[in-house]
Amino acid sequence: MTPDRDLECAEYVLGLLDTGERSAVERALHEDAALQAAVDAWESRLSPLGEAVTSRQPPARVWRRIEADLGLVERTGAPTTLPAGAQMRRFWNSIRFWRTLALATTFAMVAVVAVNLFLAAPTEAPSGLKSAYAAAAIADDDGVPHWTATVDKAKREIIVVPAVAFQVSDSASTELWLIPENSKPISLGVFPSNRSTSIVLSKENAAKLNARSALAVSVEPKGGSPTGQATGPVVGKGAMHET
């Protein structure tokens, strides 16, 4: 399987594909055993990130906003006067509904990673990563994830997937940094801010990646930092988490 196809499997599991792309993958899954195996592998890597997350009741205003966005109630809060059958047809035929559902699914998948990393951190951090994979949600100071990063330690490879549309100017680049425990950041290279990409780790950097390390992203001049350290704003950071 090509790296691009494997990245597509990661995006499928995270819910980042549009309707046409997702349908194409689902059709291919019935005929391509290797593709199904790749999807299963990504689900296995990412699903443990949500195991420690407890359910929470969202505020009533959230449901009111969702109902308004779906066209089930007026923006003022007054219910529509459509008959029940017409309301259901409008509900299921609503493009806005499916767009909202897709966005909510994407956000939920990424939020699982973020909440688990930032709110459900273990009381005692392990000294190193023991499983074959690790992941991090690279989020801003408000906890909003910008990228997810999954590390395949056997291949010494990091796969970075955008969680939101993060744009930088043509004269700038986003640069990924490894922050080992009690050490200076190490550049892992520049990457496109709004496209899934794969970054190969050197043996030296792979050895420094453990459960007490972190990843960060900064905005640098085109081509990367000229000094070997972050010179621009840090737009995301996240602790490594064993999966």
The lowest-confidence range among 2-6, 206-210, 223-227 is: 2-6
∠ CA(27), CA(160), CA(38), 5° rounding? 35
Q: Would you tell me how many other CB atoms lie within 10 Å of the CB of residue 143?
A: 13
Which one is predicted more confidently, 51 or 33? 33
Q: Residue 150 is which amino acid?
A: T
How many whole angstroms separate alpha carbon 216 and alpha carbon 236? 5
Categorise residue 199: left if φ over 0, alpha if ψ from -120 to 50, beta otherwise.
beta
- For residue range 181-217, what is the model confidence (pLDDT) as tens digits? 888 999 999 999 988 889 999 999 988 888 889 999 9
Q: Indicate the CATH number for domain 133-242.
A: 2.60.40
- For residue range 146-193, what is the model confidence (pLDDT) as tens digits? 898 988 888 889 989 888 888 899 999 999 999 998 889 999 999 999
Per-residue pLDDT band at 111 (split at 50, 70, 90): very low
Per-residue pLDDT band at 135 (split at 50, 70, 90): confident
How many whole angstroms separate alpha carbon 41 and alpha carbon 60? 37
Tokens 């100017």 correspond to 169
Per-residue pLDDT band at 130 (split at 50, 70, 90): low
**Mean of the pLDDT values across residues 109-129?**
42
**Mean of the pLDDT values across residues 226-234?**
93
64, 162, 223 from 15: Cα distances, Å: 24, 11, 30
**Residue 148 exposure: Cα atoms within 13 Å on the Cβ side:** 28
Task: Give the mean pLDDT of the chain.
Answer: 76
Name the most confidently modeled range: 16-20, 81-85, 135-139. Answer: 135-139
- For residue range 49-88, what is the model confidence (pLDDT) as tens digits? 555 445 566 677 777 777 777 776 665 545 445 455 555 4
pLDDT for 114 equals 43
How many whole angstroms separate alpha carbon 179 and alpha carbon 66? 39
Taking the domains of the chain in order of start, what are their residue ranges?
A: 3-52, 60-114, 133-242
Asked whether the predicted pLDDT for residue 26 surpasses 50, the reply is: yes
The gap from C-alpha 61 to its chain's centroid, in whole angstroms, comes to 26
Structure tokens at 76: 């003022």
Alpha helices in the chain (DSSP H): 3-14, 19-29, 33-46, 60-69, 84-93, 95-118, 203-208
Asked whether the predicted pLDDT for residue 115 surpasses 60, the reply is: no
Structure tokens at 127: 């000294």
pLDDT for 42 equals 83
